[in-house]
């Protein structure tokens, strides 16, 4: 018996076990499958538990009061136990739509053959390591796609021809990259070659789904590794074209790496993280460049230029990955605060300190400095200021204040246009 032939029963979610037993007690087939089995075989703790069954969504819904059906084209049942959601999926047939239950358009009628047999379900899955099924009652692993062997050899391999499977659903490229980062596995040669040449297909994926995938890539605790893999496989630029472009003559690559390292470390310490911080880093230099370009225009104020630059850069990115408003708002705050941080006289520093995004903006400033930006020890100043006594604060403001006042002489600003109404947050 080899090392990867058994499952540690005690690591299985009690709720998932309950769902499996109830389905089986009612005469249905039910298996734990996907990432949970893959992770258990690797002695990692699974993120969530997925169940595959021959019961139809309505059958499942009837068996569990605490459940609801989600998805329009391919319906899945979520069974809820407090904070834990167990996802129950009916076996997919050859004509099931892609694995995109959250963003499918409504109104299309279901064809009769979206549901399939157990065997059909196996071969609809993406990678061999994700197609291992566990029958809890029999304590038996069912591995028709030979996934265990690939897990042992640490290989990510598509089920079937890589190019066909990636064309069928280009998000599989991002999934492969994510698993590579998370598990430290390598991509099977043909899969790697296909990813490197088919990145452009990502353009056909809806922006909302790509945002979800980007979150999983960069905010699951292995963001740095995922980023390296995205770069090595020529994928990064298909998701973040402006950020990729700005790597040619700016410190973007370093800044992104630093932001992701900090995010990974925070996740490891169970501290809160936000995609806004990472996105702000990815698009910082495109924002700065755009702001400088706009500032060349006659009669534009710094404020208007900053606002318009943020609008332009964010809306360009949204053609690729959507960015929900709460995150774009936070990105703007982080960016705009960067130009308030150098103002250190009078009431300004304390006002800046009170801003609800001060902490994120300060962390961001430190990363800019680490990435090589020259800021005249601004980070150090703020580090000290936050901890300083009232007396020391006054002294710090005076010494920088004088210097700043001397430098403050600048050209009178021309009158501004109507866009100036837009206010900074």
Nearer of residues 89 and 317 to Mg ion, judged by Cβ: 89
Angle ∠(103,107,111) on CA atoms, nearest 5? 95
> Which value, in Å, is the radius of gyration of the alpha carbons in the chain?
26
Extract the tokens encoding 253.
Answer: 């690559």
Nearer of residues 4 and 76 to Mg ion, judged by Cβ: 76
Nearer of residues 147 and 349 to ligand ATP, judged by Cβ: 147
Among the listed residues 5, 11, 21, 47, the single contact to ligand ATP using CB under 6 A: 47
Shortest Cβ distance from residue 238 to ligand ATP (Å)? 17
Assess 48 for contact with Mg ion (CB under 5 A): yes
45 in Cβ contact with 11 (< 8 Å): yes
Q: Name residues contacting ligand ATP, limited to 109-148 (CB under 6 A).
A: 125-126, 130-131
Describe the strand order of the beta sheet including 133-135 as a list of residue ranges.
67-70, 76-81, 84-90, 50-53, 30-33, 133-135, 140-142
Residue closest to Mg ion (Cβ): 35
Among the listed residues 74, 99, 240, 385, the single contact to ligand ATP using CB under 6 A: 99
Ordered DSSP codes for 342-382? T--STTHHHHHHHSTTHHHHHHHHHHHHHTT---SSHHHHH
Phi, psi of 244 (to 5 degrees): -60, -45
Q: Name residues contacting ligand ATP, limited to 372-401 (CB under 6 A).
A: none
Q: Of ligand ATP, Mg ion, none, which one does residue 171 interact with (CB within 5 to 8 Å by kind)?
A: ligand ATP
Total number of residues that touch ligand ATP (CB under 6 A): 13
Among the listed residues 73, 75, 172, 257, the single contact to ligand ATP using CB under 6 A: 172
Give the contact letters, 23-42, x = binds to ligand ATP (CB under 6 A), - = no: -----------xx-------
Q: Of ligand ATP, Mg ion, none, which one does residue 130 interact with (CB within 5 to 8 Å by kind)?
A: ligand ATP
Residue 70 vs residues 15, 80, 87, 89: alpha-carbon distances, Å = 19, 12, 10, 10
Q: Of Mg ion, ligand ATP, none, which one does residue 169 interact with (CB within 5 to 8 Å by kind)?
A: ligand ATP
For residues 390 and 400, give the distance between their C-alpha atoms in angstroms, rounded to a whole number.
Answer: 16
Nearer of residues 50 and 333 to Mg ion, judged by Cβ: 50
Extract the tokens encoding 354.
Answer: 């009170």
Q: DSSP label at 72?
A: S
Q: Of Mg ion, ligand ATP, none, which one does residue 125 interact with (CB within 5 to 8 Å by kind)?
A: ligand ATP
Among the listed residues 101, 169, 228, 254, the single contact to ligand ATP using CB under 6 A: 169
Shortest Cβ distance from residue 39 to Mg ion (Å)? 8
Nearest CA to 264 among 278, 276, 252? Answer: 278
Nearest CA to 13 among 72, 123, 87? Answer: 87
Determine how β-strand 67-70 pairs with β-strand 50-53: unpaired
Residues taking part in catalysis: 48, 50, 126
Q: Of ligand ATP, Mg ion, none, which one does residue 243 interact with (CB within 5 to 8 Å by kind)?
A: none
Nearer of residues 172 and 244 to ligand ATP, judged by Cβ: 172
367 in Cβ contact with 255 (< 8 Å): yes
365 in Cβ contact with 392 (< 8 Å): no
Binding site for ligand ATP (CB under 6 A): 34-35, 47-48, 50, 99, 125-126, 130-131, 169, 171-172
Binding site for Mg ion (CB under 5 A): 35, 48
């Amino acid at each position: 018996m080899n090392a990867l032939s058994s499952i540690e029963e005690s690591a299985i979610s009690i709720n998932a076990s309950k769902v499996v037993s109830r389905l089986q007690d009612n005469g249905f087939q039910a298996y734990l499958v996907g990432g949970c089995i893959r992770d258990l075989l690797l002695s990692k703790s699974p993120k969530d538990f997925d169940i595959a069954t021959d019961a139809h969504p309505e059958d499942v819904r009837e068996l569990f009061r605490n459940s609801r059906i989600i998805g329009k084209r391919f319906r899945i049942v979520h069974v809820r136990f407090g904070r834990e959601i167990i996802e129950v999926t009916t076996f997919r047939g050859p004509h099931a739509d892609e694995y995109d239950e959250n963003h499918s358009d409504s109104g299309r009628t279901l064809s009769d053959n979206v549901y399939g047999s157990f065997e059909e379900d196996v071969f609809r899955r993406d990678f061999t390591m994700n197609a291992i099924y566990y029958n809890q009652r029999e304590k038996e692993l069912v591995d028709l796609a030979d996934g265990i062997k690939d897990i042992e050899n640490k290989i990510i391999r598509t089920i079937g021809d890589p190019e066909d499977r990636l064309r069928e659903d280009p998000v599989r490229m991002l999934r492969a990259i994510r698993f590579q980062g998370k598990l430290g596995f390598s991509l099977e040669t043909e899969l790697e070659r296909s990813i490197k040449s088919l990145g452009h297909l990502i353009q056909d994926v809806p922006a909302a789904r790509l945002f979800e995938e980007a979150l999983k890539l960069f905010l699951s605790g292995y963001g740095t590794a995922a980023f390296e893999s995205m770069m090595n496989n020529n994928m990064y630029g298909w998701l973040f074209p402006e950020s990729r472009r700005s790597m040619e003559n700016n410190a973007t690559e370093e800044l992104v790496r630093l932001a992701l390292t900090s995010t990974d470390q925070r996740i490891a310490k169970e501290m809160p993280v936000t995609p806004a911080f990472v996105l702000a880093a990815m698009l910082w230099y495109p924002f700065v460049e755009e702001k400088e370009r706009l500032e060349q225009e006659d009669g534009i104020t710094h404020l208007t230029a900053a606002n318009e630059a943020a609008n332009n850069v964010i809306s360009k990115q949204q053609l690729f990955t959507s960015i929900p408003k709460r995150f774009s708002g936070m990105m703007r705050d982080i960016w705009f605060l960067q130009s308030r941080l150098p103002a250190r006289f009078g009431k300004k520093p304390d006002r800046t300190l009170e801003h609800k995004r001060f902490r994120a903006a300060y962390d961001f400033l430190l990363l800019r400095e680490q990435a090589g930006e020259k800021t005249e020890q601004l980070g150090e100043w703020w580090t000290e200021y936050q901890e300083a006594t009232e007396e020391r604060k006054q002294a710090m403001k005076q010494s920088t204040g004088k210097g700043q006042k001397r430098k403050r002489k600048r050209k009178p600003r021309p009158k501004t246009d109507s866009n100036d109404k837009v206010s900074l947050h």
